[in-house]
Amino acid sequence: MFLLRFLCNLEALLVKQYQKAEVFDLFCMSEIINKYLQYIRLELNLSRHTQVAYGNDLRQWEAFLTQGSTELDVKSVTTSDIRAWMLHLSNEGDGARTLRRKLQAVRALYKWLMINGEVVQNPAAEVEMAHIPKRLPQMVRESSVDTVIDSEIDEEDFDEVRNRLIVMMLYETGMRRDELIGLLDHNVDTAKCELKVHGKRDKDRIIPFGTELAQYIDSYRAFRDKITACGDRFFVRSNGEALYPMLVYRVVKSQLGEAGVTSKRSPHVLRHTFATAMLNNGASLNSVKELLGHESLAMTQIYTHVTFSELKKNYKLAHPRALKKGG
């Protein structure tokens, strides 16, 4: 019995070592990248967009380092090699955000290799991230959105009714465009005045809304169910098919344009406008964070800069001393 257990353990150890040798061929960069992309998809469950971006970035990095060679020992890569790649990308015209993402992709790859004991240091860790100038999120004035919501529409035109609701939902809930497109009918409860959205990183959150929006939702549903079958989709086209991102973008751009908005007009601008309006009207930063589905307060704090900028602008427009020359 002891000998049998010993042989089984030995066999398991040999199989494990063999599998490890298959997983990490440190001279085959393409294989390592493929295994890493499989890891972030299956283990980390990163978004499809992130998977594609990291895959493109890492293969571009591989092409730069190998210069046509079929083999590259990842242990031989140095910090200087990665700095040279960053300089090359910058000279090719890549912006700061793109440079940061590509460097982060390489850092994450080496971090994974370190966790698995294949390398002892991360050569990308010492490379400084490109600096991104701080830009405040763009928004539109609440009065402009009110103009859109309060304007008359043809109540017998399904597209007009739905398009008005799209703007109302984006502005009054702060949800993302993809969350609006993926909204399920059974997750919109007008009795409780709340809805559940499926957000980034496969996380759900509950968002409350007002009675005016609830009434409009009920009217839209009655219209929708009269003209088409929608399955469990909340928003649909008149033929029952799902919305798509460009359609939602065009709806928002058109509706805000009709209200006289000349600045950037997009679904995400309405999300910014929602957050800013909430803070301007007394909501706590943490409440806005939860409503937006942010991971941390740091992501939400950018809106405090927006509200302060608006406050300074209003001061300069209204205070008599500020209106004086040099004030």
CATH number for 22 = 1.10.150.130
Q: Look up residue 40 and give its two tokens.
A: 């972030």
- Predicted confidence at residue 14, as pLDDT, reads 41
pLDDT at 20 over 50: no
Cα–Cα distance measured from residue 312 to residue 3, given in angstroms and rounded to the nearest whole number? 81
| Domain presence at residue 246 | yes
Query: Does residue 190 sit in the same domain as residue 290?
Result: yes
Higher pLDDT, 266 or 200: 266
Final residue of a structural domain among 73, 99, 115: 115
| Domain presence at residue 182 | yes
- Predicted confidence at residue 205, as pLDDT, reads 95
171: CB partners within 8 A, 6+ apart = 145, 149, 270, 273, 274
**Which of 161, 139, 174 has the alpha carbon at shortest distance from 283?**
174
- Predicted confidence at residue 18, as pLDDT, reads 37
Query: Does residue 168 sit in the same domain as residue 294?
Result: yes
How is residue 184 annotated by DSSP? Answer: B
Query: Does residue 183 sit in the same domain as residue 46?
Result: no
Lowest mean pLDDT among 59-63, 177-181, 223-227: 59-63
Lowest mean pLDDT among 62-76, 111-125, 165-179, 209-223: 62-76
| Domain presence at residue 9 | no
State the alpha helices, DSSP H only, in 135-244: 142-150, 158-173, 177-181, 211-227
- Predicted confidence at residue 5, as pLDDT, reads 54
- State the burial class of residue 296 (Cβ atoms within 10 Å of its Cβ: 0-12, 13-18, 19+): exposed
Query: Does residue 37 sit in the same domain as residue 183?
Result: no
Domain count of the chain? 2
Query: Does residue 86 sit in the same domain as residue 147?
Result: no
Beta bridge partners of 198: 204
Q: What is the mean pLDDT of residues 42-62?
A: 89
Cα–Cα distance measured from residue 121 to residue 124, given in angstroms and rounded to the nearest whole number? 9
**Which of 251, 244, 263 has the alpha carbon at shortest distance from 166?**
251
Query: Does residue 165 sit in the same domain as residue 27?
Result: no
- State the burial class of residue 47 (Cβ atoms within 10 Å of its Cβ: 0-12, 13-18, 19+): middle
Residues serving a catalytic function are 176, 200, 268, 271, 294, 303
pLDDT at 248 over 90: yes
Query: Does residue 165 sit in the same domain as residue 259?
Result: yes
| Domain presence at residue 1 | no
Q: What is the mean pLDDT of residues 275-304?
A: 87
Q: What is the mean pLDDT of residues 268-293?
A: 90
CATH code (residue 316): 1.10.443.10
| Domain presence at residue 270 | yes
Cα–Cα distance measured from residue 323 to residue 325, given in angstroms and rounded to the nearest whole number? 7
How is residue 185 annotated by DSSP? Answer: G
**Which of 28, 121, 137, 43 has the alpha carbon at shortest distance from 82?**
121
Query: Does residue 44 sit in the same domain as residue 167?
Result: no
pLDDT at 81 over 80: yes
Domain that holds residue 189: 142-320
- Assign 113 a pLDDT band (cuts: 50, 70, 90): very high
Query: Does residue 90 sit in the same domain as residue 234?
Result: no
Q: Look up residue 146 and give its two tokens.
A: 């009110």
Summarised one tens digit per residue, pLDDT across range 145-198 is: 999 999 999 999 999 999 999 999 999 999 999 999 999 999 999 999 999 999
Query: Does residue 178 sit in the same domain as residue 279?
Result: yes
Q: What is the mean pLDDT of residues 11-31?
A: 54
CB atoms within 10 A of CB 248: 21
Q: Look up residue 295 and give its two tokens.
A: 């991971």
Query: Does residue 315 sit in the same domain as residue 174?
Result: yes
- Assign 16 a pLDDT band (cuts: 50, 70, 90): very low
Lowest mean pLDDT among 65-74, 147-156, 161-170, 210-219: 65-74
| Domain presence at residue 5 | no
Q: How far is CA 12 from CA 6, 19, 73, 117, in A?
A: 10, 10, 28, 20
What's the mean pLDDT when you consider all of the chain?
Answer: 85
Q: What one-letter code names the amino acid at 270?
A: L
Q: What is the mean pLDDT of residues 240-246?
A: 95
Half-sphere CA count of 182, side-chain side, radius 13 A: 12
| Domain presence at residue 287 | yes
- Assign 21 a pLDDT band (cuts: 50, 70, 90): very low
| Domain presence at residue 238 | yes
- Predicted confidence at residue 311, as pLDDT, reads 57
Query: Does residue 28 sit in the same domain as residue 155?
Result: no
